[in-house]
Structure 1
Amino acid sequence: MLKLKNYIKNDRQGIMSILPGFLLSFAIAIVSYLLNRFIFHSLGSATIAILLGIILGNLYFKQVTLFAGTAWSEKKLLEFSVMFLGATVTFQTIGKLGFSGVGFILIQMISTIIFVLFMGKKLGFSANVSALMASGNAVCGSSAIAAVEPVIGAETSEKRTSIAMVNLMGTILMLSLPFLGTWIFGNNDLLRGALIGGTEQSVGQVVASATMVNPNTTTLATLFKIMRIIMLIFVVLYFGFRSKKQKRNEQGPTQIKIKRNSFYPGMFLVS
């Protein structure tokens, strides 16, 4: 009975610790939706939410009490969003992209991982930071970093550095790709969707960027993005075995456990 009371007490404390940051995240989402609906129609609510988060988070909401809730919203809600995105993936989805679309995604992801690992080494980043940035840029930003972090044994500081770098680049691309895509490809929605969905780091950034073009581009960009998310588990496995091999070479034969994230089985069950 005492253990049950302690469990309930700890559970309540956990909920109360994340509540302030969660409510702030929820409030920003509501404000962004209203601003998009009544004032900034062309930006999209996701773009407004990201920009508001950057501005308000750096200027006003730096309180320690908010960190747990905003971190929970970033990590856990992203995990569920990735899982439910799998529900939209069907053979018809893949067929709409075609073999060339799937091939483009594979080439893009492989080349991104190789390039970021190379540049990370040249710029003096640690192997873990390079791996986290490679996964974040190749797949789905912070959620990919959160998935790869435990399998390579990265430190919290390395995770934060990677998220900051990936989100900074993602924000720049989010605002520039709609104009760059139209300049290069004209009114070709498929190619603009491929550029945005195949390049942008996070799901939110893809949607935010594509909605600045038109609804059809948003649909196509989302399809390309979903295909990248499908590949997440293979990226996690790759970096897990890569890390295991590196540690074996450094320390000799050791047993390294690969932790699983909750959204892997869920994503494939609903897809």
Structure 2
Amino acid sequence: MSLVPRPAGGAAFPIVARLIPGTMLCLAVSLVATALASLEARVFGRSWLEALVLAILVGTVVRTVWMPGALWIGGIRFSAKILLELAILLLGATLSAQALAAVGPGLLVGIVGVVGVAIAMSYGIGRLLGLRPRMALLVACGNAICGNSAIAAVAPAIGAKAEDVATAIAFTAVLGVATVLGLPGLIPLLHLSGAQYGVLAGLTVYAVPQVLAATVPAGTIAVHIGTLVKLARVLMLGPVLLVLSLIAHRLQDDGEDPGQGAAAGDRLAYRLRLHHLVPWFIVGFLGLAALRSFDYVPHSLLSPMATAANWLTVIAMAALGLGTDLRQIARAGLPVASAVTVSLALIVAISFALIQFLG
């Protein structure tokens, strides 16, 4: 018998080794999605579908023609959960309170109100159309805050299933492109100035790059105001995540036994919750946002952290696609598409009412 003690961390290596194949598969899908996004930008002048969306689509196609075996499952699950949570944590460093201060108190209160009303209203519409509670919340937060990024961030906080996340992102992505193309048509119809249209675009368009694409036709003022309003709207993600993490244990999908949600059986995630209520990555997200607001995050690290967050999110979306059955997305198609479309139309109406109220 050997008297040499085994290294304390030796048991961890087999676990890490089991994660490598699936994680590398997710990375490969992410690289294909990124290449497709670059090709799309070269051909059309811009990427209508982001690498994040393409990663889900490519992963879903792979999953449709090939079922990953036991060798791959560990890494796929790790990428879909832990890497996504790390990405959310790093996103905190990209947000600061200074953006809120630049918006102004009147419009800031309006943005908070629009986001809150939009989430409640969209959730109600989703439930009326037959969506399960978690799916309805994903659609609501995606419409109200920042589309795909909000859906990806909210999913682990509420224990949403992979197929629900993929479905919500797929339909939100399509509607996001349609919004960018159609929103400028409201300028003459509603007699909007450049500043007013910038506020409307910032409150309704999903992603920051899409806000830029939607506001360029209206001029520089629309671009600047739209971007500023959009950034303030994105900052609502932190408080919303915190609230949802506190109420997540109350969510129960139709036909689901109490306590048997997607996250209920994950003991590791449960131990990582602050007092079993707030997930660790949300605490980290808010902490990094606070450090950024007080200028304690070195500026040289901001760009690498943003890049890392983007890549981790794309890899996590590839993992979600690899775990998604295309038939489940097809079955959920019409109710989800209807909920996303009706909710967005009502958000546009609420945003226009706010513009009129603020003058």
Q: TM-score, normalised by structure 2?
A: 0.57
Distance (whole Å) between structure 2 residues aligned to residue 78 and residue 219 of structure 1 = 27
**Structure 1 counterpart of 2:311:** none
* Larger fraction in helix: 1
Post-superposition shift, 1:228?
Answer: 1.3
2:104 alignment partner, SS class? helix
In structure 2, which of residues 181, 195, 198 is the aligned counterpart of residue 193 of structure 1? 198
**Structure 1 counterpart of 2:94:** 85
Larger radius of gyration between Structure 1 and Structure 2:
2
The 5 Å alignment of 1:82-161 reads 82-86=91-95, 90=98, 93-161=99-167
The AA in structure 1 aligned to 2:24 is M
**Structure 1 counterpart of 2:211:** 206
In structure 1, which of residues 19, 25, 44 is the aligned counterpart of residue 27 of structure 2? 19
8 Å contact from structure 1 (residues 78, 143) kept in 2: no
8 Å contact from structure 1 (residues 185, 191) kept in 2: no
**1:164-195 deviation per Cα after TM superposition (whole angstroms, max 9, x unaligned):** 33333323212211222354244x22211111
Post-superposition shift, 1:5?
Answer: 5.5
Q: TM-score, normalised by structure 1?
A: 0.72
Distance (whole Å) between structure 1 residues aligned to residue 147 and residue 87 of structure 2 = 10
8 Å contact from structure 2 (residues 245, 277) kept in 1: no
Distance (whole Å) between structure 1 residues aligned to residue 276 and residue 41 of structure 2 = 44
Q: Which runs of 5+ in 2 are unaligned?
A: 1-6, 69-75, 265-274, 294-359
8 Å contact from structure 1 (residues 116, 134) kept in 2: yes
Q: Which runs of 5+ in 1 are unaligned?
A: none
In structure 2, which of residues 268, 289, 307 is the aligned counterpart of residue 267 of structure 1? 289
Post-superposition shift, 1:224?
Answer: 0.9
| Bigger RCO of structures 1 and 2 (CA < 8 A, at least 6 apart) | 2
- For the aligned residue pairs, the C-alpha RMSD in angstroms reads 4.0
The 5 Å alignment of 1:24-103 reads 24-35=32-43, 40=45, 45-47=46-48, 49-50=49-50, 57=57, 62-64=61-63, 79=88, 82-86=91-95, 90=98, 93-103=99-109
Distance 1:185 1:10, change over 3 A: farther
**Structure 1 counterpart of 2:239:** 234
Q: How many residues align?
A: 251
8 Å contact from structure 2 (residues 90, 288) kept in 1: no
8 Å contact from structure 2 (residues 203, 229) kept in 1: yes
2:61 alignment partner, SS class? coil
**1:185-208 deviation per Cα after TM superposition (whole angstroms, max 9, x unaligned):** 44x222111111111223343233
* Deviates further, 212-221 or 3-12: 3-12
